[in-house]
Amino acid sequence: MNNNITSTTALIDETTQGERRRSAYWFGNAEGIHHPFWVIVSKEISDQLRSWRFIILVSIILLTCIGSMYTAVTNIGHSVKASDVSTTFFFLKLFTVSDGTMPSFFVFISFLGPLLGISLGFDAINSEYNRGTLSRVLAQPIHRDYLLNAKFVAALTVISVLFFALGFLVIGLGLITIGIPPTAEEFWRMIAFLILSIFYVAFWLNLSILFSVRFKQPATAALAGIAVWLFLTVFYPLIVNLIMKSLAPAQMAMASPKQLFDLEELRLTLMRILPNQLFSDATTTLLMPTVRSLGPLTMEQVYGTIPGPLPLGQSILLVWPQVTGLIAATIVCFVLSYVSFMKKEIRSR
Amino acid sequence: MDEHIIELVHLTKKYGAFTAVDDLNLTIQKGEIFGLLGPNGAGKSTTILMMLGLTEPTSGIAKVCGINSTTNPIEVKRRVGYLPEDVGFYDQRTGFENLMFTAGLNGIPKEKAAEQATLLLEKVGLMDSFHKKTGKYSRGMRQRLGLADVLIKNPEVIILDEPTSGIDPKGVREFLNLIVELSRGQGLTVLFASHNLHQVQEVCDRVGIFVNGKLLGQGNIKTLSQQLFKDRPYVLYVDIQRPVANGKTESVSLDEVSRLLQPVETISSISIQDHLFCIESSSDVTSQVATLIVQSGFTMLSLNKKEYGLDEIYYQYFEGGTNHE
């Protein structure tokens, strides 16, 4: 009996110790042990940072940023008029001003973001398979989804660090050149813009991870990702334009305002399937506080409004559907790749 | 030593209409080296994947160290080291870094892992390539690093899937010696899946013949041949001569031998092959035949009982079986 009690207490002791050890374990660094998940994440991050592809991408992005900053700084003087109500948001112009020869910062991000996302993810799973490391890693005592999640977390960390670094560099450079510090609201708008950009790139990252699970050859996966990107940025708007032309009344002047309004609404709905449209809608609103609506407005709606910028909360409220849509698209891609990876049979090459 | 460390019960895996593994029953004892011998596409790898919980069986149970691999694969993978066929490493990293990564996944503290990795690299003879990136390793070196990678988690069981394919004969010998040494020295259980008969014969205590998803027989080579050839006639090769003067002998005719051996009822046929009498019988008649010959006054120069070795087994089943590759 006595023996029994001691063994039970010993058991309890062991389990509590086990629990304690496990909880310390997840956050890592207890006696130099890291949770396997973070072991994979740190390996993936260092792999990304050491790869040529990342160096090339970062140099492209840095060059374009410097270019757009240069045009912004040289043109910022012309764009500000004394009577302009938006002069209060002078600093945000750094991200949006352009003289027409060189696109502005946020246009660059919306253009290069997909490229960054696709190139960080297109060989996530299939290269592991082709190298013969997949079956070896999965034979270790880890859950299968650790690998996929770790790849996603690692790439997202790299993107986040990169974007925040870029954003703060732009802010710093702006401070030095124009000498006016940003207001608190401007600062939060910029942070919101950076977070939004990260979500946008995360969408493309997940899409390319999905392709990397589906296609065995990294080249095929990369091509599929680029094809989707080209389709969405070049061909889809063309198709929408064609549809709109066929729907438009023969004589525009004869059309009723209601008809025109509906047509414009339809065009916007069709365009808002595009992640890049969602992104540019959202960023425009965030970086230009004077934007009050993303759809057509009737005279009645505008009547009596005082021209002025929206507060940050209202701007965010305005783009909330866009942000939700973007996150939803990201999650859909992730779920698809998750399911197809979990169902995949892991064989040696 | 009667501990079942691997237990497969009615294990079945189907891919659509194709049955890769068909109602497999197998137990492996602790500390033995078991050879899973079968041609390409026999279902060896599929069986191994099911043991590791990397693929789900259609029906049946796979248990390793008493743990169900399908429902609790993490615990199984903690105890089992698996060396896949044609193992790969992260090319941009050194052998040492690759080992450290595996150790990290197994929750081994850094300092201990570094110590162990160095020890293992020395054991598998890769100390010279300590700081060399694995992208520059040869096939044989990769395979040896694979063995170190399997051992760093200090497993109870190691599963090797065609570990010697693509290595030169000298490398194969070294590799096999290493496995035997490890198994004997540390009491490791080894499952060695291969299509190479001679390597399996060389190192394994017990062998299972696996063709088209079915285990045709298991045991050491002797019991295996009895199992597989129990319906086959016993065959004796006897050299019978008639003694003449000066210790010389002359040959005996087939008729005489037939007449002589008539009392033995189980003999089905007698023929001459290469000057030897080939006696086929449904039971073991070696001693009866020997007694009769000696009593009759003939000289018996040799008497051989035909043994079925792995070679016969191999040709019988592998060549006959369909290859899926």
The pLDDT tens digits of the residues spanning B262-274 come to: 888 888 888 888 8
Instruction: Kindly report the average pLDDT of chain A as a whole number.
Output: 82
Answer with the residue of higher pLDDT: A213 or A86.
Answer: A213
What's the mean pLDDT in A198-221?
Answer: 94
Torsion of CA A46, A48, A49, A51, to 10 degrees: 120
Instruction: Give the pLDDT mean for A122-139.
Output: 90
Whole-number pLDDT of residue A274: 87
Report the gap between the CA of B130 and the closest CA in chain A (Å).
19
Q: Backbone phi, then psi, for A216, in 5-degree steps? A: -75, -30
Residues B58 and B190 in one domain: yes
The amino acid at residue B43 is G
B182's enclosing H/E stretch is helix B169-186
Q: Which two tokens stand for residue A126?
A: 């299939």
> How far apart, in Å, are the Cα atoms of A86 and each of A172, A174, A220, A273?
21, 17, 47, 30
Assess if residue B313 is contained within a domain: no
Token pair for residue B80? 């089992």
Higher pLDDT, A29 or B251: B251
CATH number at residue B278: 3.30.70.100
Asked if pLDDT for residue A256 goes beyond 70, the answer is yes
Full-model pTM: 0.80
Interface of chain B toward chain A, CB-CB under 8 angstroms: 45, 49, 52, 54-55, 74-75, 77-78, 80-82, 84-92, 101-102, 104-111, 146, 149, 153, 161
Lowest mean pLDDT: which of A137-146, A324-333, B162-171?
A: B162-171
Residue of A nearest to B159 (CA): A139
Which of B87, B104, B108 lies nearest to residue A136, judging by beta carbons?
B87
Neighbours of A206 (CB within 10 A): 25
Per-residue tokens: A310: 């929206």
Q: Are residues B224 and B242 in the same domain?
A: no
Instruction: Please report residues of B whose CB lies closer than 8 A to that of A33.
Output: 107-109
What is the domain-level CATH number for residue B110?
A: 3.40.50.300
Q: Minimal Cα–Cα distance from B93 to chain A, Å? A: 9
How distant is the Cα of B266 from the closest Cα of chain A, in angstroms? Answer: 52
Contacts of A192 (CB under 8 A, 6+ apart): A286, A312, A316
Are B146 and A39 in contact (CB < 8 Å)?
no
Residue reference for tokens 């040799």: B302
Residue B46 lies in a domain: yes
Same domain, B155 and B270: no
> In whole numbers, what is the pLDDT of chain B averaged over residues?
85
The pLDDT of residue A348:
67
pLDDT of residue A12: 40
Query: To the nearest whole percent, how much of chain A has pLDDT over 90?
Result: 34
| B63 in the same domain as B129 | yes
The answer to the question of residue B310 being in a domain is: no
- Please report residues of A whose CB lies closer than 8 A to that of B103: none
Domain annotation covers residue B45:
yes
Of B228, B251, B273, which residue sits at a domain end? B228
Chain B: residue whose CA lies nearest to A28:
B107
Contact residues on chain B for A347, CB-CB shorter than 8 A: 45, 49
Rounded-to-integer distance, Cα B76 and Cα B68, Å: 8
Pair (B57, B18) in one structural domain: yes
pLDDT score of B227 more than 80? no
In-domain check, residue B68: yes
Domain that includes residue B291, residue range = 234-305
Q: B291 lies in a domain?
A: yes
Q: Is the pLDDT score of A270 beyond 80?
A: yes
Greater confidence (A339 vs B258) lies with: A339
In the predicted structure, residue B124 carries a pLDDT above the cut 60 = yes
DSSP B205: S
**Can you say whether residue A73 is alpha, beta or left, with left for phi > 0 and alpha for psi between -120 and 50 degrees?**
alpha
Could you tell me if B195 and B238 lie in one domain? no
The domain spans of chain A are 23-223+323-343
Q: How many domains does chain B have?
A: 2
Cβ-Cβ contacts under 8 Å between A and B: the total is 87
The answer on B213 and B295 residing in a single domain is no
Which of B228, B254, B285 is a domain's end point? B228
Q: At what angle do helices A144-178 and A184-214 cross, to 10 degrees?
A: 150
* Band of pLDDT at residue A41, cut at 50, 70 and 90: very high
Residues B47 and B150 occupy one common structural domain:
yes
* Residues of B whose CB is below 8 A from A138: 54
Which chain A residue lies closest to B79 (C-alpha atoms)? A141
Q: Looking at the structure, do residues B269 and B176 belong to the same domain, yes or no?
A: no
Does A137 contact B105 at a Cβ distance shorter than 8 Å?
Answer: yes
Those residues whose C-beta lies under 8 Å from the C-beta of residue A234, and which sit 6 or more positions away, are none
Is B139 inside a domain boundary? yes
Give A19 to chain B, closest Cα distance, Å: 15
Same structural domain for residues B65 and B168?
A: yes
- Are B196 and B298 contained in the same domain? no
Q: With contacts defined as CB-CB under 8 Å, which chain A residues touch B82?
A: 135-136, 139
A121 and A212 Cβ atoms separated by less than 8 Å? yes
Q: Is B63 helix (H, G, I), strand (E, B) or coil?
A: strand
A348 with B89: Cβ contact below 8 A: no
Are B84 and B107 in a shared domain? Answer: yes
Instruction: Tell me which of A303-317, B13-27, B274-288 is least confident.
Output: A303-317
pLDDT tens per residue, range A3-12: 444 443 344 4
Q: Which of B228, B251, B272 is the last residue of a domain?
A: B228
Residue B19 belongs to some domain of the structure:
yes
